[in-house]
Structure 1
Amino acid sequence: MLRPARIHLFTAAVAVLTGSLAACGSGTTGSSASGSADAFSAATCQGGTLHVLNASKATSGYDPAVLYTSGGGAIPRLLFRTLTTRQSVAGAEGTKVVPDLATDTGRPSQNATVWTYHLKPGLRYADGSAITSADIKYGIERSFSSQLAGGPPYLRDWLIGGADYQGPYGSNPDLASIATPDAATVVFHLRKSEGDFPYLAAETQFAPVPKAKDTGKEYNAAPVSSGPYTIASFTKGKELDLVRNPDWSRSTDQQRLACPDRIDISLGLSAAVINQRLSASIGDDADAITTDTALDAPTLAKVSASPALKKRVVSGQFPDTHYLAFNVKKAPFDNQQVREALAYAVDRTAVVNAEGGSQLAVPSTTFTPASLAAAHQDYDWFPAGPTGNPDQAKRLLAQAGHPNGITVPLAYDNSDPAAATALQQAFAKAGITLELTPLDSSAFSSTVNNPTTEPALSLNSWGADWPSGGPFLTPIFDGREIVSGGGNFNLAQYNDPQINAEIDRINQITDYATAQRQWAALDARIGKLALNVPLYAEASSVLHGSHVKNTYLDQWRGWYDIASVSVK
C-alpha cells in the first residue's frame, strides 16, 4: 500500500509493534487449524465497556467492500468474519493465516489457480439468518462496483474476468469465476497462480453480504454483522457504538474472544488529545485503547521518563519502506550509474534524525524491511555507511558524464518535509542539487502515480497488505502492474520479462516458508539495479489505559488485537 508521507496512524500499513516477524508455515495447503486465541483464555473476559479513542473519522463508514482490513484498522474484524483470518496470538505465530468462516485455509489446485473453500456449519448473521456461499460470492461481486470503490485491487487482477467486471447491480451478470456448487462451497478460478490467496481471503471483501439486505452506498452505515459485535449506533466522524451479536458463537470462531459487552469508539480526536487521555487514564479512559494513533517524538520522550507510563507502552517497527523512487524513463535516472550515485550519497542517519530519531525510524538498505523477516534478505549493494559516501557518488557521476554534478527536482508530500530537507543537505556534499518540489497531499498520488505526470524523482513509502513478499514486491517491480491512467505503483516503470516470470514462478508456491525465501532472493536480485533507494522503516510506540488487559499487538497488521482485549 503506497503512503507518500510519514503518519502516526496504524491505518495505512501493516505495522508490527512487538518485534520482527519470523518465518513460519501458513497452512495454505488445506490443513485445518483450530486457532490459538486460547493464549488469552475466555475466562479472562469480564464484560464491561471498552473505550477506543481514534483519530480516524470513519466518514466512509463500514461497508466491507470499500475497506482494507489492513488499512481500515482493527474495527472491521469485530463486525465481519471472512473465509480466513490472521491467527490471534502474540509473536511470530501471529503471522499465520488460519480458517475463519471456512473449515481450512483453502485447497489449491496443483498450480494454485483454483482455490476451494467449505464453510463451517452453523454460521449465522446478527439477524439470525444463515450465512451461505452465495453470500460470500455476492459480497465479493459488489466490491467490483464503481460506487463501492476503495478496497484492495487484487481481486480485479486475479479473478478470471475480474478486469472487466462491473459488479452485480442493474442488469450486470454474476462473476462466473466464483462458483458456488452448494450452499457451503465456494470455488475461485484465477487467471494466474497465486500462492498467497489464503491471505487475500482474510480481507473484508470476503465477508458475506446477504443480497436481500444490500442497500448499496447506504450499506456502510448499518452493515449486517457476521462477527461478534453489531452496530448499535453510528455517527460518521464522531462515534461508533458496538454491542454483542447474539448469534455469534465462539464454537465457530476461535480467533475472537470478544470480551467486552460493549465497545464505544470515539472518532475524529486529535493525536494530542488521544495520548493525553491515555496518559492520564482517568475514568473511562482507564478502560481505553487506540487503534490508530502512535506517540510522537516529544510525547514519547515524556512517557519514557515515567516508569508508570512506560509499563503501558508497546513499541516496535512497521514493516514498510520509505524510499526514493526513480522514474527510469526520465533522464538522468535512465542511467544506472546516476541512480547508484544517489544511493551512495544518502545520509540515513540524518534522515532518521529528521523523522524523530531511532525510536521512530530504523535505517533500511533493502526494499523488503527487516521486520518482514520471512521475506527479508540482508544486502547493501551501494554502501553509504551511516552518513553517506559523497566521494563515491561524485566518482560515479563523473563516469556517467556529470563531472560537475547534477540538479534534479524531488517531489514529496508537503505534510512531511523533514526527510526531503535532510536528503537535500546530504546530496549537496556529492554535487547533487535537489530542487525540493512539495506537493499537496491531495495532489501527490494523482501526480506521482500517473506515468504521464510522474516526476523523475519522488519520496514515497510502501507497506504490504499481508506478511508476505508478494504484495511488497509485485506492485513495485512487476512490469505488468504498470497502470497508464493512474494508480500506478511501479514508479520505476520497470518491465523485465525475466522478473515478471520469476514473480509468476514464486506465486505458484503454496508453502509459505519456501515462497518467502524466494521473495527475499528476488528482492536482493532487483536491488542490484538501483531502481529505488531504501531509506528507513517506521518505528512506533502506543499507549493503552491502565485497566486494559490482553493488550498485545498482532504481528500481521500491528494494532491492538481488539478482538482479544478485555477490561479489568
Structure 2
Amino acid sequence: MFRALRSRALTAMIILAPAALAGCTDASTGSGSGSGSGEITVAGTYPIESLDPHGPQGGGTGTQLAARELFSRLVRPKADGTLEGDLATAWKPDATATQWTFTLREGVKFSDGKAVTGADVAASFKRLIDNKGTNAANFPGYTMTATSDSEVVLKATKPDAAVPGKLATFYVVPASVATTDAAFFQKPVGSGPFTVEKFTPSQTLTLVPNKNYYAGAPKVTRVTIRKMPELAARLTALRTGEADVVWGIPDDQLGQMQSDSKLTVETVPSTAVFTMWFNSSTPALREAAVRRALWQAVDFQTIVKQLYPQTGGLADAPVSPITLGYVAQQPVTYDPNAAKAALTAAGFDFSKKLRLQFANAEFRQFNQAVVSDLAKIGVQVDLLEKEQAVFTKDLLALNWDINFQQLSNPTFDAANTLGRLYPCAAKRNGYCNPQLDQLLSAAGSSPDQAERVKLYGQASQIIWQDAVGMFPMAVKYAYAWNKRLEGFTPDPNGLPDFSTAQVRGS
C-alpha cells in the first residue's frame, strides 16, 4: 500500500517537473549544462548554506559535501571505512592514547600558493573547538599544538583510541582565519582539490580545479552543485542531461534508472541508520517498558520491505554494519496486542498525544506509516514536519517526544555516534544511564580494536533493550550517473568526492 501511494505521488511530480526546467536543457539531444566539455553538474538534495565546516551550520550535509572538495583533513576514510592520510603521512599515540602525534605531508600548499604548516593545522583545531560546532563535542577539553612546521600533537583529557577517526570531519584552513569570518568563507582558500568559482548560499556552488593541489589538479574543468530538493526535478535533470550525478534515489524509481542505457546505477551500503529517539525526559516515556511497547507496536519489517526493498534493510543495531562497533542485537518482534497490553499495564495515558518530529519530505511517508501503526493500538501521535533550522533547534531543546533522523557516521566509528550522543552529559534524548556511560568511556579509550567492538556491543545492548529509541532501518544509498562520467565512486555517507572523476573524451 505504502509503495503504491508513493509511486503515484512521484509519477505526478515527475510529469510536472519538465516545465520547470524548460529553457535549461535541450531534451532532444540530452545535452544540458552538465554536458559541457569536462564539466559536470551535480543535482544536490540538501542546500549548501555555508562553506564553513566548523561554523554553526558546519554539520549540515551540504556544507560537509562542499568541505571535502575545498579543504584537506589530517586523515580521511576510504569507501570501506579504513583511514588513509591526507595532510598527515603518519600518526601514532603514546602508551596511554592521551597524546597523538601527526607527521605532516611536505610541500602542501593552499590554493593561494602559501605553504600549509603545523601552525595552520593547530589554529584550525582551536577554531573548531572555539566555534563549538557539531564535531567539537568529540574533543572535550582537547588541545592541539604545532611542534614544528611538519608536526602537530593532539592532547586528550582522557585515553582516546578513536582520535584519528574523529578527525575525519576536521578541516584545515589558514591560521589567519578568525573564529567568525563569514567573508572568508564566501570564497575560501583551502588545500583541497577544488576552489570556489561562484557560491550562492542555498542555491549553487561552482567549483574549479585547485592548480596547487598536492595530488594533482582534478581532470574535470568545473563542478556545479545545484540544489534540487524535489526528487522529481533531480531525476528529470538526470534523464535530460541537465545533471550528471544524482543520489538518494527511492526504490520505486530505481527500475527506470536501471533501464536507462545512458546511466550507471549503483546501490552501496551506508553508515546511516533510521533512528527514532524517544524523549526519556517526557513523563509518558520515562519507563523503558513503555518505550519497548511502542517499538513493538510498529511493523517496521513490512514498512521497510514495502517502501525500501532495495535501499533498506531491517536494522539490528543502533549503528550500521559497516561501522566499527557494530554488534547485532535481538530483533524486536512486531506484536500490537502485546504492545497495547504492556502500555495498559504501565498506566500509559492513551488520551494524550505524542509529538513525532522530522525534517525533509522524503521521510514523510515512512513516518506516516509509523503513526498509522501506533494509531491501531490507540496511541495518538501528532506528526510534525519541520524546516531544517526549526527541527535542529527543537531537537537540541528536546522539544519533541519522538525524533526521527537518518543518522550517518562519516567517521565509520561508533565513538562518533554511540560515544558522542548517548552519554548522560550529551543530553540529546533525555536518557541517562551511568552503566552505559562507563561502557562508552571504556570503548573509546581502549587501544584494542576487538575490545572496543565488544564494549560497544554491550553498550548497544543497553540502548536496544532500554529502547532509548527505535532503530528501524539500515540505509543503502542509490546513486545514478551519466555514463560519460568516469572515475566516480559512490560514497557510503552520501558525500561523494569529485576529484577523481573525469568526462569521457574531454
TM-score by length of 2: 0.81
How far, CA to CA, are the matches of 1:227 and 1:396 in structure 2?
55
Aligned position for 1:274: 234
> Which of 338, 342, 345 does residue 294 from structure 2 map onto?
342
Q: Does 1:122 align with 2:111?
A: no
Aligned position for 2:140: 158
Aligned position for 2:415: 470
From the two aligned structures, give the one with the greater helix fraction: 2
Aligned position for 1:396: 342
> Which of 280, 295, 299 does residue 253 from structure 2 map onto?
299
Residues 62 and 535 (structure 1), Cα distance of their counterparts in 2 relative to 1, 3 Å cut:
same
Residues 468 and 341 (structure 1), Cα distance of their counterparts in 2 relative to 1, 3 Å cut:
same
Deviations 1:118-137 (A, max 9, x none): 21222222222221111111
Q: Does 1:323 align with 2:269?
A: no
How far, CA to CA, are the matches of 1:448 and 1:233 in structure 2?
33
Which amino acid counterpart does residue 186 of structure 2 have in structure 1?
A: A
Q: Does 1:180 align with 2:124?
A: no
Aligned position for 1:245: 210
How far, CA to CA, are the matches of 1:186 and 1:144 in structure 2?
16
> Which of 199, 208, 214 does residue 165 from structure 2 map onto?
199
Which amino acid counterpart does residue 128 of structure 1 have in structure 2?
A: G
1:201 aligns to what SS in structure 2? helix
Deviations 1:257-292 (A, max 9, x none): 75414123142335433322322347xx5xx324xx
Aligned position for 1:380: 330
2:261 aligns to what SS in structure 1? helix
From the two aligned structures, give the one with the greater strand fraction: 2
What are the within-5 Å matches in structure 2 for residues 499-514 of structure 1?
A: 499-514=436-451
Which amino acid counterpart does residue 392 of structure 1 have in structure 2?
A: A
How far, CA to CA, are the matches of 2:62 and 2:167 in structure 1?
15
Which amino acid counterpart does residue 50 of structure 1 have in structure 2?
A: E
* Deviation of 1:313 (Å): 0.6
Residues 343 and 525 (structure 1), Cα distance of their counterparts in 2 relative to 1, 3 Å cut:
same
Residues 369 and 127 (structure 1), Cα distance of their counterparts in 2 relative to 1, 3 Å cut:
closer
How far, CA to CA, are the matches of 1:214 and 1:324 in structure 2?
34
What are the within-5 Å matches in structure 2 for residues 389-428 of structure 1?
A: 389-401=335-347, 407-413=352-358, 415=361, 416-428=363-375
How far, CA to CA, are the matches of 1:233 and 1:398 in structure 2?
59
How far, CA to CA, are the matches of 2:177 and 2:42 in structure 1?
34
* Deviation of 1:542 (Å): 1.8
Which amino acid counterpart does residue 273 of structure 1 have in structure 2?
A: A
Deviations 1:135-179 (A, max 9, x none): 111222233455xx6552335x4234xxxxxxxxxxxxxxxx322
**Is there any run of 5+ residues in structure 2 with no aligned partner, and where?**
1-35
Q: Does 1:367 align with 2:318?
A: yes
How far, CA to CA, are the matches of 1:300 and 1:279 in structure 2?
13
How far, CA to CA, are the matches of 2:375 and 2:344 in structure 1?
15
* Deviation of 1:478 (Å): 0.6
What are the within-5 Å matches in structure 2 for residues 205-284 of structure 1?
A: 205-211=170-176, 216-250=181-215, 258-269=217-228, 270-281=230-241
TM-score by length of 1: 0.73
Aligned position for 2:96: 111
Aligned position for 1:447: 394
How far, CA to CA, are the matches of 1:109 and 1:263 in structure 2?
43
Aligned position for 2:33: none
How far, CA to CA, are the matches of 1:445 and 1:60 in structure 2?
14
Deviates more, 1:266-275 or 1:524-533: 266-275
Residues 361 and 137 (structure 1), Cα distance of their counterparts in 2 relative to 1, 3 Å cut:
same
* Deviation of 1:476 (Å): 3.2
Which amino acid counterpart does residue 325 of structure 2 have in structure 1?
A: A
**Is there any run of 5+ residues in structure 1 with no aligned partner, and where?**
1-46, 161-176, 251-256, 483-488
How far, CA to CA, are the matches of 2:61 and 2:165 in structure 1?
11
* Deviation of 1:438 (Å): 1.8
Percent of pairs identical after alignment?
A: 19
8 Å contact 2:367–2:383 — kept in the other structure?
no
8 Å contact 2:355–2:381 — kept in the other structure?
yes
* Deviation of 1:197 (Å): 1.0
1:542 aligns to what SS in structure 2? strand
Structure having greater relative contact order (Cα 8 Å, sep ≥ 6): 1
8 Å contact 2:128–2:136 — kept in the other structure?
no
2:196 aligns to what SS in structure 1? strand
- Root-mean-square deviation (CA, aligned residues, Å) is 3.1
8 Å contact 2:199–2:206 — kept in the other structure?
yes
Instruction: Give the paired residue count.
Output: 463
Deviations 1:71-103 (A, max 9, x none): 63544233211211223xx5xxx3111111112
Which amino acid counterpart does residue 343 of structure 1 have in structure 2?
A: W
How far, CA to CA, are the matches of 1:65 and 1:278 in structure 2?
32
How far, CA to CA, are the matches of 2:393 and 2:201 in structure 1?
26
Q: Does 1:142 align with 2:127?
A: yes
* Deviation of 1:376 (Å): 2.0
